[in-house]
Amino acid sequence: MTKRPTYQNMVQRIGRASLLAAFFLPAVAQAATSEWVTSTGGMIRIVAAPLNKDGTIPASLEIKLNPGWKTYWREPGASGIPPQITLDPAEGIVLEKIGFPVPKTFDDGTVRYIGYDKSVSFPLTLKRVSGEGDVNIRASVFLGICEDICIPVQGELDLTLKHGDFDNPLDAARIEGAVAALPEAPADDFTVTTAVYDAQTSTVRLSLRLPPDTATDHRDLFLAGPSGVSFGKPVIATTRGAELEAEIPVRLSAKDNTLKGKPVILTVRAGARAMETTLAFD
């Protein structure tokens, strides 16, 4: 006959189980993630790490896409809404920089746009410029996601980093992973050798040195400029081993019909590597 546990034994077992469960649960002392804001095609939230001594706050904007949905790069192309983040100035936090992983080009023969068809995280560099104690981040995020049609998504994302609390390693890993996915800086084996803007033909002509071991069928260029500047589909003019030449049409607004002095961000994919740099034209 099996002996039934007494009430006291049951209480002890439940108590031990509760302690064991509590031991394996993640600590929640630090609110380092905002709540998810949901939409038809996915969800968005902000993840943040503790304040550094220089006042910077590592963070990332996470976009979790449902299958079949896409979102946009910094320069979406003919249509689309790039991510836009506005911080509440009353909290003394400013956005210094937003990083973008290398995107993809989508072209259905009618519309061409640039973005991502999988969940993506954009690293953010925030900085405290005023205030003390707890860090309160209040961000208004506006972006577009699309399936057959594009849907604007707007959400208010709030989180608080408690002063003196420990860092959550899972949140730190998420931010580090977002940073690791960014394109690398130019190097000797991966750089722009010439960059010329032809005002008569409204064309940017580029020559690049690519890593020697990259396949010729996995090369792509993406350009993004300031307001009033947009770019057409790059045309790969010449591909010779580790060299690449390309021409990119430029569209300028009627108000300021010049590219001179305007910064242009170039992102290049070559095989498994990606590089990003800023161009300037005389």
Residue 26 is assigned to a structural domain of this protein:
no
User: 19-23, 25-29, 84-88: which has the minimum mean pLDDT?
Assistant: 19-23
Instruction: Name the residue with tokens 């049951």.
Output: 10
Residue 23 is assigned to a structural domain of this protein:
no
Banded pLDDT at 119 (limits 50, 70, 90): very high
Report how far residue 102's alpha carbon sits from residue 275's, in angstroms, rounded to the nearest whole number. 9
Whole-number pLDDT of residue 14: 32
Residue 127 is assigned to a structural domain of this protein:
yes
Asked whether residue 160 falls in the same domain as residue 60, the answer is: yes
Number of separate domains in the chain? 2
Asked whether residue 120 falls in the same domain as residue 214, the answer is: no
Which residue type occupies 110?
T
Q: Which domain holds residue 214?
A: 191-279
Report how far residue 13's alpha carbon sits from residue 278's, in angstroms, rounded to the nearest whole number. 63
**Residue where a domain terminates, one of 180, 209, 234:** 180
**Residue where a domain terminates, one of 180, 207, 224:** 180
- pLDDT tens for each residue of 171-203: 889 999 999 999 999 999 999 999 999 989 999
Asked whether residue 195 falls in the same domain as residue 164, the answer is: no
Report how far residue 249's alpha carbon sits from residue 75's, in angstroms, rounded to the nearest whole number. 14
Asked whether residue 41 falls in the same domain as residue 153, the answer is: yes
pLDDT beyond 70 at 11: no
Which whole-number Å values give the CA distances from 111 to 50, 67, 68, 114, in the listed order?
42, 21, 17, 10
Mean pLDDT, the chain, as a whole number? 85
CATH number at residue 142: 2.60.40.1250
The phi and psi torsions of 22 (rounded to 5 degrees) equal: -65, -35
pLDDT beyond 50 at 31: no
**Residue where a domain terminates, one of 120, 148, 180:** 180
pLDDT beyond 50 at 260: yes
Residue 71 is assigned to a structural domain of this protein:
yes
For residue 64 the two structure tokens come to 């979790």
Whole-number pLDDT of residue 254: 65
Asked whether residue 198 falls in the same domain as residue 105, the answer is: no
Asked whether residue 128 falls in the same domain as residue 239, the answer is: no
Asked whether residue 151 falls in the same domain as residue 82, the answer is: yes
Residue 232 is assigned to a structural domain of this protein:
yes
Residue 270 is assigned to a structural domain of this protein:
yes
Burial of 104 (0-12, 13-18, 19+ CB in 10 A): middle
Report how far residue 31's alpha carbon sits from residue 45's, in angstroms, rounded to the nearest whole number. 13
Which whole-number Å values give the CA distances from 105 to 102, 144, 257, in the listed order?
10, 16, 27
pLDDT beyond 80 at 209: yes
- pLDDT tens for each residue of 40-92: 899 999 999 988 999 999 999 999 999 999 999 999 987 789 999 999 999 99
pLDDT over 90, % of the chain: 60
164 Cβ neighbours under 8 A, 6+ residues apart:
none
Asked whether residue 273 falls in the same domain as residue 223, the answer is: yes
Asked whether residue 154 falls in the same domain as residue 254, the answer is: no
Report how far residue 226's alpha carbon sits from residue 229's, in angstroms, rounded to the nearest whole number. 6
Instruction: Identify the residue with better confidence: 121 or 5.
Output: 121
Report how far residue 231's alpha carbon sits from residue 220's, in angstroms, rounded to the nearest whole number. 14
CATH number at residue 199: 2.60.40.10
Whole-number pLDDT of residue 7: 36
CB 130 within 8 A of CB 92: yes
Asked whether residue 92 falls in the same domain as residue 219, the answer is: no
Residue 158 is assigned to a structural domain of this protein:
yes
Asked whether residue 44 falls in the same domain as residue 122, the answer is: yes
Residue 18 is assigned to a structural domain of this protein:
no
Asked whether residue 44 falls in the same domain as residue 169, the answer is: yes
CB 178 within 8 A of CB 227: no
Long-range residue pairs from 83-89, CB within 8 A, at least 24 positions apart, any chain:
83/122, 83/141, 83/142, 83/143, 84/141, 84/142, 84/143, 85/61, 85/124, 85/139, 85/140, 85/141, 86/139, 86/140, 86/141, 86/142, 87/126, 87/137, 87/138, 87/139, 87/140, 88/138, 88/139, 88/140
